[in-house]
Amino acid sequence: MPQPNRRDTVLLTVTSDTLVAADLGPRTRADDRAGDREKGPYRRLFAVPGARAFTAGNLVARLPMGMLSVSAVVMIAGTRGSYALAGAVTATGLAATAVVAPWIARLVDRYGQARVALPATVFAVLGSLALLLCVRHDAPAWTLFASYAATATTPNTGGMSRARWTHLLKGDAEALHTANSFEQAADELCFMLGPVLAAFLCGALFPEAGTLVGAVLLLAGVVLFTAQRSTEPPVLRRAPARAPFRAPGMRPLLAVCLATGAVFGAMEVVTLAFADARGHGSAAGVVLGLQAAGSCAAGLLYGAVRPAGSARSRLSWCLVAMTALMVLPLLAAGLTGSLLVLAGALLLAGMATAPTMVTTMTLVQRCTPEGRLNEGMTLAVTGLLGGIACGSAVGGWAVEHASATAGYGVPVVASATALTVSVALFGRPGSGRSNRSPSGR
C-alpha cells in the first residue's frame, strides 16, 4: 500500500456534522521563522528562553553605573568641602578602571561569568563601603583614593549581557542587531536615571545614601544576573592566542570609541558651564537628560528596523549623521543663547549617538576572537571612558579660555575625527570599499 507523503500529510475526519482538517506535516524552521516575524522584533527577542531573567538582573546591576561617581562627588564635596578632592578621587577610580577592567573581562572569558563577576563585584562593593566609612569618619585623604580605586574591579555588566545575546542569537544577525540596540538604549536609560537618583538620595536622605544604595543595587543585580546559568556563554578550554587588541580592525574601532567618548565628555562639561553661566545651573541635569532620552529613543527605533548594507558602511553613515547633528547645539548656543532651544538641539543631537554606538559594538563583536568577547567589549568601553575623560578636559579648557558657546565646537571636532577614522579605514559610505572584510557584513 503506498504511503502518504509525510511532508504534506493532511488528516480529514468527521465529527457530528463538522468536517475537520488537520495538517500533520512536520513544522520546518522556515515555518517557525515566518511565525516569529509576525511578532515585533523586541517581542521575538525576549521570547528567547531565559532572556527576560538575565536582562532584569543586568538592568538592576547596570543602574549604579550612573550613580556611583555622582554619589562619590556629592558625598566627598559635601563633607570635605572640596570639589577638587572629589574630582581627583573619581579621576583616580576612572584611571584604575581603565587598567583593571580588561583584566577582569579576560578572567570572565577564561573562567566564566558567574565564577569571576560575583567575587569581583563583592570586592568592588567593599571598596564603595570603605569609601563611605572613610568619608563618614574623616579619614585621611589618601584612604579615599585607595578605597575608590578598589571599585575598579566592577565587572562590565553591559558587556556580559551583550556576550549572552551573542551566544543565544548566534547566526541571526537581525536579532543580534535588535539586541545590541536594546542594550545601548538600556545604557542610555541607566546613565540618564542614575545621576538623578543619586542626587535625590544624597539630597533627600544623607550624603552617603547614593553610594550605599548604589552598592546594594550593584551586588543584588550581579547576584541575580549570574544566577541565570542557562544563558551563560560556555567557556572555551583554550582561549585563542590572539588578543582582541591585536585583532584586525580592532584598533581603529577603539579609536572611534575614543573619539565618540570625547563627544560625550565634552558635551556634559560644556552644557553644565553653559547653564551655569545663564543662572540655570540646576537645570543642566534635565537638559543633559534630554540628550540621553533622544539617544535611548533612537536606539530602540534603530533596533526595530532591519539593518541595510554592511555594518562598516552603516558606521560611516551614522558618524556622518552624528557630525551633522552635533552642529545643532553649537548653533543653538551661538545664535540664540537660549537654554530651552539648546535642550531641543541636544534632544536631536542625541538621536545620532545610539545608532553609532550600536553599530560600533556590532563591529567590535565581529572583530573579537571567539572566546574573548567580554575582553573585546570591555576594551571598547575602556576606549569610551578614556574619550570621556579627554573630552571633559578639552571641553573644560575651551570653556575657561574661550566660552561655553565655543566649547560646543569640541563635540563637533570629536565626531568629525571619528568619521575621519571610519572613512580612512572603511572608505566613504556607499563606496563599496567597506564590503571587503568579512567582519563588515
Question: What digits encode the pLDDT tens for the residues 182-209?
Answer: 888 888 788 777 877 887 887 778 888 8
Confidence of residue 436 (pLDDT cuts 50, 70, 90): very low
Helix H or strand E encompassing 19: strand 18-23
- 220 and 361 in a single domain? The answer is no
Q: Are the beta carbons of 271 and 195 closer than 8 angstroms?
A: no
Residues 147 and 283 in one domain: no
* 216-220, 231-235, 346-350: segment of lowest average pLDDT: 231-235
Residues 375 and 427 in one domain: yes
> What single DSSP character describes residue 432?
S
- The string of pLDDT tens digits covering residues 290-308 is 888 888 888 888 877 777 7
Residue 238's pLDDT band, with cuts at 50, 70 and 90, is low
Contacts for 208 with CB less than 8 Å, ≥ 6 apart: 75, 132, 135, 136, 202
Assess if residue 2 is contained within a domain.
no
The pLDDT of residue 376 is 82
User: Is 359 domain-assigned?
Assistant: yes
Residue 277 to residue 339: CA distance in whole angstroms: 10
DSSP codes of every residue in 304-348:
HS---S-HHHHHHHHHHHHHHHTHHHHHHHHHT--HHHHHHHHHH
User: CATH number, domain at 176?
Assistant: 1.20.1250.20
Q: How far apart are CA 430 and CA 367, in angstroms?
A: 21
**Amino acid code (one letter) for 3:** Q
User: What are 265-278's pLDDT values in tens digits?
Assistant: 888 888 878 888 88
Q: Is residue 51 part of a domain?
A: yes
Q: Say how far apart CA 118 and CA 155 lie, in whole Å.
A: 9
- How many C-beta atoms lie closer than 10 Å to residue 421's C-beta? 19
What one-letter code names the amino acid at 408? Answer: Y
Query: Taking 60 as the threshold, does the pLDDT of residue 230 lie above it?
Result: yes
Domain's final residue, options 235, 268, 302? 235
Cell of 122: 563583592
Q: For cell 575625527, name the residue.
A: 417
Structural domain contains residue 32: no
Q: What is the pTM of this model?
A: 0.75
pLDDT at 113 (0 to 100)? 87
Q: How far apart are CA 186 and CA 46, in angstroms?
A: 14
pLDDT for the residue numbered 417: 93
* Chosen domain end from 235, 251, 284: 235
Q: How far is CA 176 from CA 45, 179, 366, 371, in A?
A: 9, 5, 11, 17
